[in-house]
Amino acid sequence: MLRFDDRVAIITGAGHGLGRSHALLLAERGAKVVVNDLGGALDGSGASAGPAAEVAGLITKNGGQAVASTDDISTPEGARAVVQAAVDAFGRVDIVVNNAGILRDRSLGKMTVEDFDSVLAVHVRGSYLVSQAAYPLMKAAGYGRVVNTTSPAGLFGNFGQANYSTAKMGLVGLTKTIAIEGARNGIRANAIAPIAWTRMTESLLPAEFEAKFTPERVSALVAYLVHESCEVSGEVFSVGAGRVARVFVAEGPGWKTDDLTPEAIADNWQSVMAEQPYVQSATDSLKAML
């Protein structure tokens, strides 16, 4: 059994849905958990201490160790306070699961700057800020595990979610860069693209999905990725209803000529669009151009 005794985990947005399930699973397996949740509505409005306190209370009642944090992780002060809560209560940070999220769905023509900025602030800025605040502690310890939460909507696009999909693809870049920068200090970072029945999706998914797409079926992957035995880093995984699959950003072999013209591109379009053998790093992409 993969256990987390003596490990300290920060889970943002852990008052509901997926974060709650991640927190309960890690705590059940021995982790000391900071249950962070602002306690607002799905669109990010409002705040309440209730959800974080309820989950931290449940963990404690079950014999685990947890503290509640109601800090807003989209602000530098809030992100620092979450990490400080971990240090004050448990003395270290080993695991960060950036899970907090909001939705402000609207088609591109109707989206306001506020809708766009607020969604990016929670998902992207929040994940960056909490990771950055925990980073020096992880670096000093020579150990860290970060999981960011992307989405199929970000990886593939989705109607009405220009803000959300931009944020979620941004998290793929953040994840890959944390993985590169953290590699020599034992810090591993990965992203999950989940599907689960939560308050975020209950009005979108068919009713029969509730029993199959449980948050617990996503948390199992999170627990694996944040375990000390898992050296995987810089990857993205689709996860839902018991299925786990690697998602990868890849570049095809491409087609090149010394005399590139718009017409030459049109004439060789099939080669431009070819998928294999694919290239998977910025360095290999550059090499293919030389």
List, in sequence order, every residue forming a beta bridge with 194; answer none if it has no partner: 239
Interface positions with ligand NAI (CB under 6 A): 12-13, 15-19, 36-40, 42, 44, 51, 72-74, 99-102, 122, 126, 149, 151, 194-196, 198-201
Which is closer to ligand NAI, CB of 142 or CB of 242? Answer: 242
CA-nearest of 182, 173, 200 to 142 is 182
69 neighbors 34 (Cβ within 8 angstroms): yes
Assess whether 224 carries a catalytic annotation: no
CB of 192 to ligand NAI, least distance (A): 8
Rounded least distance, CB 188 to ligand NAI, Å: 20
Q: Which of 135, 164, 224, 278 is catalytic?
A: 164
**Cβ proximity to ligand NAI, 59 vs 122, nearer residue:** 122
* Least CB distance to ligand NAI at residue 274 (A): 31
Residue nearest to ligand NAI (CB): 17
Q: Is the dihedral angle over the CA atoms 219, 177, 131, 100 positive or is it negative? A: negative
- The set of residues, in sequence order, having a beta carbon less than 8 Å from that of 87 and lying 6+ positions away, is 93, 137
Residue with tokens 């718009």: 262
Could you tell me where the DSSP H helices lie in the chain? Answer: 17-28, 50-61, 76-90, 113-120, 126-141, 152-156, 162-182, 209-212, 216-225, 262-267, 269-272, 282-289
| Least CB distance to ligand NAI at residue 184 (A) | 29
Question: Residue 40 or 170: which CB sits closer to ligand NAI?
Answer: 40
Known catalytic residues are 164
